[in-house]
Amino acid sequence: HDNVMDDKDEDAAQLSFGPEFSGQVECLSDAEVMTILDKRIADGDSRNMNDQLKQTYEYVKRSLGRRDVDSTRKESIHLRESLSELRFENDALHTFEIASLANLMSKDSEPEEARALIPSLRRFPDEALAEILALIVECKVQTNAT
């Protein structure tokens, strides 16, 4: 029974991820994973990548399309910093929400779509979600303009 987890231990909608994720755990967006793995490859460390890391690298490359790694890196840094600074009535975005927003939201996303894809965002009113989504668009536009 020690290895069996109760359903209440893991529930992304409640930002509960079980004991393995307690403490200082950072959730990464696809762009952040791509940046880390691309650096590893550029440094000549790809020979130490196991099959799972190679598959992950291929997945994030497909996920991000033809965007160059440098602009992807800049956008992911700017987006994480900007979203991490947001506060709404003493409530901030969780690292899981930041990574999910970076991965899932496009330039024309609406609050209802964000809540459907990331249920934990239901705690925010429409105005707060609209601000979050506008910030995502702003970060993407600023990064792509430079």
pTM over 0.85: no
Using one digit for the tens of pLDDT, what is the confidence trace for 52-72? 888 998 899 888 887 787 888
Residue type, 133: L
The residues pairing with 88 across neighbouring beta strands, listed in sequence order, are: 91
Please tell me the predicted confidence (pLDDT) of residue 6: 54
pLDDT at 143 over 80: no
Instruction: Name the band, by pLDDT with cuts 50, 70 and 90, for residue 13.
Output: confident
The torsion defined by the Cα of 109, 110, 111 and 117, in degrees rounded to 10, comes to -50
